[in-house]
Structure 1
Amino acid sequence: MLALWDLQKTLPICGAVLMAALALGGCSSQLADLAPADAPPRAREPGSYLPVHDLPPDRDQAIIPLEQRAKIEAELAAARDRQAAAAKDAK
């Protein structure tokens, strides 16, 4: 009777340990294999520094034209003034 009770107690524990080991074993896959296909290749020298002065392409052009930027800034300033007035009225 004692041996049957020990088996009933240890069997679920062994099963849980086995399932945890299998689940953790699945996490050990190589993360480098999961990189997208269009990712740039890795550097051959692991200790090399990234180039600091190399800028991404198209950084010389303004992202937003100056006229549109002025319009956006004016709209934001008007919204800020409306919120300040609404907060002042709420007090």
Structure 2
Amino acid sequence: MLALRDLQKTLPIRGALLMVALALGGCSSQLADLTPADAQAHPKEPGSYLPVHDLPPDRDQAIIPPDQRAKIEAELAAARDRQAVAAKDAK
């Protein structure tokens, strides 16, 4: 049995631990409060596949016009050819 003197020594430590536990408990929050309002709901079946055929609404328009796309592809092909020549010369 603890003597009164031992109890008086451990009482402040126990009180401090209790205060820390209460303070940390008051800082906790629900995870639902942290999610954005426009977040999609989780599927009810955890193993279901995502709908791959559903596209974003603005995907019907071409992002890069065809003439710019051809220019970019030509630049990339030229860069690839230059690197191939440089790699061949390095050997």
Q: TM-score, normalised by structure 1?
A: 0.53
44, 47, 58: which one pairs with 1:47?
A: 44
Q: How many residues align?
A: 70
1:78 aligns with 2:78: yes
Query: Share of identical aligned residues, percent?
Result: 71
Larger Cα Rg: Structure 1 or Structure 2? Answer: 2
Residue 8 of structure 1: aligned partner: none
In the alignment, structure 2 segments of 5+ residues that lack a partner are: 1-16
* Distance in 1 separating the partners of 2:54 and 2:89: 51
Q: 1:31 offset after TM fit, Å? A: 2.7
1:34-53: CA deviation from partner (whole Å, max 9, x where unpaired)? 2234x23636xx51668834
Residue 31 of structure 2: aligned partner: 31
Mark the CA change 1:59 to 1:72 in structure 2 (over 3 Å): closer, same or farther. Answer: same
In the alignment, structure 1 segments of 5+ residues that lack a partner are: 1-14
Residue 60 of structure 1: aligned partner: 60
1:14-51: CA deviation from partner (whole Å, max 9, x where unpaired)? x8xx89xx6xxx7x7433322234x23636xx516688
Mark the CA change 1:81 to 1:57 in structure 2 (over 3 Å): closer, same or farther. Answer: same
Paired amino acid for 2:61: Q
